[in-house]
Amino acid sequence: MNEEMWQAIVDCDAAYDGLFYYGLITTGIFCKPSCKSKTPKQENVRIFASPAEAKATGLRPCKRCRPEEIAFRSPEEELVEGVTQLIHEHAHESLTLTEMAEKLFVSPFYLQKCFTRIKKVSPNRYLTLLRLEKAKSMLRQTDESITAIAFRIGFRNSAYFSSVFQKEIGCSPSAYRQMKKHPHEHGVEHV
């Protein structure tokens, strides 16, 4: 590995994507230079010319930067992917648009605009829908209280959770649970 390659890895420089790949003998994965994962220790890094070469040594492609994907992605798409990942990682916590923007070093306005254009839904709504999906599966699969579920999925207030749930899903969380857990008592087929 030369100094230039190492610098590209440290800087996550997308200009080097496709020119080389690097693998980590410690984790067994390989990445594109632009991968935003933590900067590795230089002595653990191995350089490869292609994904095939990296895989031949037993390394697996990184799930984060997907080194085998050659398709060009615009900076906006990169950003939206970063937002999506952030939302999935932090959905159970409080996560505001401003916090997302700060973490990704862009303005909230720009983030909202790119995200909404590409995903056809605002970041906040995406987050809400993701939380409600989690709520639905917890209501079906667990006996945790509505309050506990509300907190677990990132709502700080169970009354607010219930009202959002009612508005988006069309019934209260407890009615949803009742219907999914005991469908026949209500004459509704399990779906």
Query: Applying CB under 5 A, which residues contact Zn ion?
Result: 31, 35, 37, 62, 64-65
Nearest to residue 136, comparing CAs of 86, 182, 174, 167? 174
Candidate list 31, 62, 65, 114, residue with the active-site label: 31
Whose Cβ is closer to Zn ion: residue 82's or residue 154's? 82
Indicate if 171 belongs to the active site. Answer: no
- In whole angstroms, the minimum distance from the beta carbon of 149 to Zn ion comes to 33
Tell me the closest approach of the beta carbon of residue 8 to Zn ion, in angstroms: 13
d(CA 44, CA 69): 24
Q: Where are the beta strands (DSSP E) in the chain?
A: 21-24, 29-31, 45-48, 60-61
CB of 164 to Zn ion, least distance (A): 35
Q: Calculate the alpha carbon distances from 76 to 37, 119, 160, 182 in Å.
A: 19, 11, 33, 45
Q: Do 92 and 153 contact (CB within 8 A), yes or no?
A: yes
How crowded is residue 12: how many other Cβ atoms within 10 Å of its Cβ?
Answer: 17
Q: Residue 174's Cα: distance from chain center in Å?
A: 28
For Zn ion, the closer of residues 45 and 149 by Cβ is: 45
Position 116: which residue type? T
Write down the least CB distance from residue 41 to Zn ion, Å: 15
Nearer to Zn ion, 35 or 100 (CB): 35
Residue 65 or 114 with smaller CB distance to Zn ion: 65
Alpha-carbon distances of 87 from 30, 126, 128, rounded to whole Å:
24, 8, 10
Active site residues: 31
